[in-house]
Chain A
Amino acid sequence: MTGGQAGGPMAGPVLDIRGFSVVYRTPACDVRAVHEVSLALNAGEIVGLVGESGSGKSTLAYGACRLLRAPALITGGSVIYQGRRAAGPADILQMGPDDLRKLRWREIAIVFQSAMNALNPVLNVRDQILDAIDAHLRIPRREALDKVRSLLDLVGIPAARLRSYPHELSGGMRQRVMIAMALAADPEVVIMDEPTTALDVVVQRDILAQIIELKERLGFAILFITHDLSLLLELADRIAVMYAGQLMEVGEAGQIQHEPAHPYTRGLLHSFPSLHGPRRDLAGIPGTPPDLRRAAPGCPFLPRCGYGTDACKAIDMRLAHVATAADLSHVTACPFVLPETQDALSAAPVPAEGAREVSGL
């Protein structure tokens, strides 16, 4: 699972986020977007970060790269980066502008969600990528051009499209250009923010297969941000479930799927209809996510949780090992609910009223 250590043995994770917090400062109050999140990314690993809109998953990823602007404010934590080429571990949050510039793109690259908005509409594909190479790598023009060609070849774009402008490309092609640009400087970590959300399923699958192929070949680690848990179960090595700015559960994909420990994870697992296999009972999650302007202590999922008790109002949200799991890497923020097997789960009563069953319509 943490295999694929392409550059020999590594001491510790390549990216280690610890106790990271971000608020959006407004005149009225602070909006607690990310609250004391700790998450590590090992070399060559795909970690999936799943959450609903507004759960803070993008804020976490961009904040860790210091890409947020006011009114976002990082209020605590550290982000330790340790790449193969780096001299030693360094805290991204303490870096000066020069170090940051060297880090971005060369060490950590980002594939943004909306390729149409992220690409420059008046530059063709070739110039677009050349621009990025010129800004971050000092290599001669001829070499840079060769690199552009090999990068596009890598992501399956024919050389004939070198001079195409973004509007002349399909959504899938644009996303491939974004991926090619992200890989231009051979990064250690690639953050992908919903890279395939706007695409059709057939194209999505094609691009994901390509991403994995490239990862195997080039050995970078991926932080994959999405709202689609079913996709991550198939794609990711480990999955981190985020809700209301906090991590609810982190575990291997198999653990999340078969032994989900947190009630929110279970709710998510029962929220998407499956196409393959027998029809399952679906329940969804009643209610809506909390208002982060009025952050209360205790578990933010409590109002929607079918297992909640008074103790949840004051619970310490730090992740702890799942008591029944043999593997120490499976952690949850909920100490009260123990994981059940998938079979027991589907037979379990649907928590809370309001969660109408959709199955057997």
Chain B
Amino acid sequence: MSEPGDTVSVAARRGPLAMEAISLTKDYRLGRGQALHAVRDVSFSLYRGAVVALVGESGSGKSTVAKLLAGQERPTSGTMRLDGEPADLRTRRAFRRHKSEVQLVFQDPFASLNPVHTVRHHLDRPVRLHQGKRSRAEVAAEVSDLLERVHLTPAEQYLGKYPHELSGGQRQRVSFARALAARPRVLLADEPVSMLDVSIRLEMLALLDELRRDFRLALLYITHDIASARYFADEVLVMYAGEIIERGPAEELTQRPAHPYTQLLVASAPDPDNLGSTLRAGAKHTVRPGVGAADHGCPFHPRCPFADDLCRAEDPVLQPVSGTRSAACWHLDAAAGVVTGGRESEV
């Protein structure tokens, strides 16, 4: 499958194409003729059995992308294709069919479960709605199976519990089980572990990975933590100000970032092994604080060390860096010079 920037997604090696986003754009009207461009011309594909990570800071539009794919928000322009067919959200019936194919898991397991309902209730409903199972015994068996799949065993012990009786990790497991109850092809996980304690995050990512394998899910992993994307994802997409500014295989992209913003992101992650750390040395300001994205030209130009008149005038599109990588920058050659050696790239 050809991707923007004439490159191939590494995620395609895992399995067949499940879902495509094609030039998705979402504007929010702010009044007085102003608009917030939350998502701008975003295209990517999800493949069965593969993890694609969408990485960006808060406000970069990554959650809006998830809402668009799940059908919770309608794009201003652009289309989505599910299994080769255009996604249909027009009628209630079509929307429900879309939802049973594309499920969303939220960040906060404390807010996403209903406090007055038991675990059984949370799973019963989607099983009935999406799987069309009729008999009580069939539904009960399916619910127990789901709980076992997310390692809440023995299932009987958890069925009657209310969310407040569960730990954060257990609640997130219930959210996973609820999403799987619809037997989706695509799972959109929006910061699924950031609310959890460090010591259990890894276990939850491992569980997600297991579910990906067992159910052959096409997984979109949305995170602000580029380090977890390195370990967990096949392909990484980096978003800035609503645009995908760099994409490529997880290991390559995180170890040799091409775009100046990705370089900044990688350089900012805590690094225990970094001798002569910029932190301990009391670094000078590397970024102008409070500088937002630009309206014209490249959105990163106000913070970019390579910015020139071209960057201020025109927004670059993704250009191939290699067969599987691309980046949206006018000065990739200059930026490439900075990053060799990894950490000195304090832009």
Contacts and interface: CB of A to CB of B under 8 A. Distances in A.
Nearest to A209: B283
Contacts of B227: 272-275
Contact of A361 (B203, B231, B254, B268): B231
Contacts of B76: none
Contact of A52 (B198, B205, B265): B198
Given A273-B228, A358-B232, A284 B206 contact: yes
Interface of B: 51, 57-58, 167, 169-170, 197-203, 205-206, 209-210, 224-228, 230-232, 251, 254, 264-274, 277-280, 282-287, 289-290, 342-343
Interface string A152-170: 0000100000000000011
Contacts of B343: 276
Interface in A304-331: none
Interface stretch (A36-44, A85-93, A125-133, A230-238): A230-238
Given A275-B226, A358-B205, 15 more contacts: A52-B198, A169-B290, A204-B268, A209-B285, A212-B282, A228-B198, A229-B198, A234-B277, A273-B232, A275-B227, A282-B202, A284-B199, A284-B202, A288-B200, A356-B210
Nearest to A202: B268
Contacts of B272: 230, 233-234, 257, 274
A276 B342 contact: yes
- 9 tightest A-B contacts by CB? A284-B202, A233-B272, A200-B57, A275-B227, A285-B199, A52-B197, A209-B283, A213-B282, A205-B268
Given A200-B57, A234-B270, A358-B209, A271 B286 contact: no
B125 to A, nearest CB: 27
Nearest to B209: A361
Given A172-B289, A234-B279, A284-B202, A276 B273 contact: yes
B57 A276 contact: no
Contacts of B206: 284, 356-358
A19 interface: no
Nearest to A54: B197
A213 B280 CA distance: 9
| Interface range for A | 35 or more
A361 B232 contact: yes
Contacts of A209: 278-279, 282-286
A227 interface: yes
A357 B206 CA distance: 7
A26 B155 CA distance: 32
B209 to A, nearest CB: 5
A206 B286 CA distance: 7
Contacts of A274: 227, 271-273
A216 B209 CA distance: 45
Nearest to A357: B206
A359 B228 CA distance: 11
Given A209-B278, A284-B206, A203 B289 contact: yes
Contact of B287 (A206, A212, A228): A206
Most B C-beta atoms less than 10 A away, residue of A228, A273, A359 = A273
B243 to A, nearest CB: 17
Interface in A322-357: 354-357
A28 interface: no
B289 A200 contact: no
A306 to B, nearest CB: 13
Contacts of A288: 167, 169-170, 200
B197 A227 contact: yes
Interface string A71-83: 0000000000000
Contacts of B205: 358
Contacts of B225: 273
A201 interface: yes
B7 to A, nearest CB: 22
B201 A284 contact: yes
Contact of A235 (B197, B201, B251, B279): B279
A295 interface: no
Nearest to A277: B273
Interface in A162-218: 169-173, 176, 200-206, 208-210, 212-213, 216
